[in-house]
Chain A
């Protein structure tokens, strides 16, 4: 009986240790990697928007110069 209880206890300890290992193995993603890396998509969108706006502003400036 005692042995069986000890065995079960041993099993439990194993389980807790296993659970801790899992936590250590996968750190919580932070920064750009947080929330399923959705911020990477945002960065890509902002890059495209910035690039297109930069180009449009240049065309707009040239056009304004022509109109003068």
Chain B
């Protein structure tokens, strides 16, 4: 079973060790007032990649549950959403720290910050909704439907809307941010750390989710026993 296999966890750990070592040594370009904080690209940005991956997996199981209502799918969907929100919150907090020293204040009402905050609140409502229902069958179905709704609000909130307005983040309209960090323009030396970092963080996120799934499974067994 892939969940209990260790090879992908080892890959994840190796990639993260690489990120945390070479990420601090790799020569970085000098852009604006970023200085060394440009290295946050290896830590802050993968939080969002991981979150997006985890909630996408959560969406996949939500749809799977609606097509074939097995309690196992609902449990997966819930666990992945939970860990996804954890990574989203870490992304928001680390973003605020970074912003404090480069944009001058932790909260700048930047469209991406606002979008991410709203999107996180929408996902928090998912857990409120879940836990407010006692009927297990109804809870799973309503949660799955809400999950799909939340996902398709979330993606425009952090990926489309910030690109349509001016943003401090790279990639906004009339970029005031740091275009050097935009995908294709990213410094080649940094790209060699960035993408392994993204994969490493995603694997860690999936690993943590599988631990949550395993403990929730145990919980179920105990209740049923």
Chain A residues proximal to chain B, CB less than 8 Å: 32-33, 35-38, 40-41, 43-45, 47-48, 51-52, 55-56, 59, 62-63, 66
Contacts and interface: CB of A to CB of B under 8 A. Distances in A.
A33 B83 CA distance: 32
Contacts of A52: 86, 90, 204, 208
B215 A37 contact: no
B94 A48 contact: yes
A36 B211 contact: no
B43 A41 contact: yes
B3 to A, nearest CB: 15
A66 B219 contact: yes
Q: Interface extent on B, as a size class?
A: 20 to 34
B44 interface: yes
A35 B57 CA distance: 40
Given A37-B101, A51-B89, A59 B215 contact: yes
A40 B98 contact: yes
Contacts of B100: 40
B36 A41 contact: yes
Contacts of B222: 66
> What's the dominant secondary structure at chain A's contact region?
helix
Interface of B: 20, 24, 34-37, 39-40, 43-44, 47, 83, 86, 89-90, 93-94, 97-98, 100-102, 204, 208, 211-212, 215, 218-219, 222
Most buried by B among A40, A43, A59: A40
A33 B35 CA distance: 9
B101 A44 contact: no
Nearest to A56: B208
Contacts of A43: 97
Given A45-B20, A47-B94, A59-B211, 14 more contacts: A37-B35, A37-B101, A41-B24, A44-B43, A51-B86, A51-B90, A52-B204, A55-B83, A55-B86, A56-B211, A59-B215, A62-B215, A63-B218, A66-B215
A41 B86 contact: no
20 contacts: A36-B35, A37-B36, A37-B102, A40-B37, A40-B40, A40-B98, A43-B97, A44-B43, A47-B94, A48-B90, A51-B86, A51-B93, A52-B90, A52-B208, A55-B83, A59-B212, A62-B219, A63-B215, A63-B218, A66-B218
Contacts of B24: 38, 41
B8 to A, nearest CB: 18
